[in-house]
Amino acid sequence: MTERNPPAATAFHYAGHGPNASTGVAICHGFTGSPLSMLPWAEYLASQGFAVTVPLLPGHGTSWQDLATTRWQDWYEAFEGSYLELAATTETCFVAGLSMGGAVVLRLASIHDVPGVVLVNPGLSFYDRRVKYVGALKYIMRTTEPIVEDDAAPVLTEDGDYSKTPLKAVHELKKLFRSATRGLPHVKAPTLVFKSTVDGVIPPSSVDTIRKHIDATRLKVVTLPHSGHVATLDVDAPTIFEESETFFRQHAHHRVASESS
């Protein structure tokens, strides 16, 4: 039996069908990741009829050397462009993101009138205190070792060579987190957050920051007790898929009802 190579990182787009065809969901992957980590979620939503797009962000899906040449604005603008394309062909278009992707979609939601936001282990802060000095450290150390979780979910896909993490990109990530945090008071959309109990990549302070700025009447936080950081590929993934589907259906209906009244 010939062993198949893992699928390569690339953007994914699904046309909607059935009753949910007019509802879009733009999903953003995380730092050094790719749409492959979002694929099971995207495929689930597509199977329910939603129109789904998952762009591959610049510097991702290839190598850490490519990542080092990009800015946070490049990541944000690539996702925003994908969102706007989907929004132009659907009646309502939600945004969702994992980790760094959570920061990207929060910044977008602070600028665009989205009907709802879904976040999985969203990143707005770091565990490593050395990040405070990364603007200077990047000139001394070109790279650092990537964060590896104990008992991480198996990734059976090919995301490219990210055996090292360029500090220049970490500095860009820090600036993205700062920009997303500053925009939080302008996020008016209902927001659903999934947070793993044990997340070795993003500290709980990120969700604490979201709680401070998004009104409790518009915010729901769901705990994922059995998953690590990339929860979309872990044990609690079905909870993410099913609860986000319910959220999208509910708020798409509310948006259509309010616009027709």
Would you please indicate which residues are annotated as catalytic (active-site) residues? 99, 199, 229
- Provide the pairing of β-strand 92-98 with 117-120: parallel
What is the rounded CA–CA span in Å between residue 46 and residue 41?
9
Do 234 and 227 form a contact (C-beta atoms < 8 A)?
A: yes
List helix spans (H) across the chain. Answer: 39-47, 64-67, 72-87, 100-109, 134-137, 167-183, 205-213, 237-260
Angle at 157 between CA 4 and CA 194, to 5 degrees: 145
Strand order in the sheet with 12-14: 12-14, 51-54, 23-28, 92-98, 117-120, 191-196, 219-224
CA 112, CA 178: separation in Å to the nearest integer? 18
HSE-up of residue 52 (Cα within 13 Å, Cβ side)? 24
Compute φ and ψ for 131, nearest 5 degrees.
-60, -25
Q: 96, 251 in Cβ contact below 8 A?
A: no
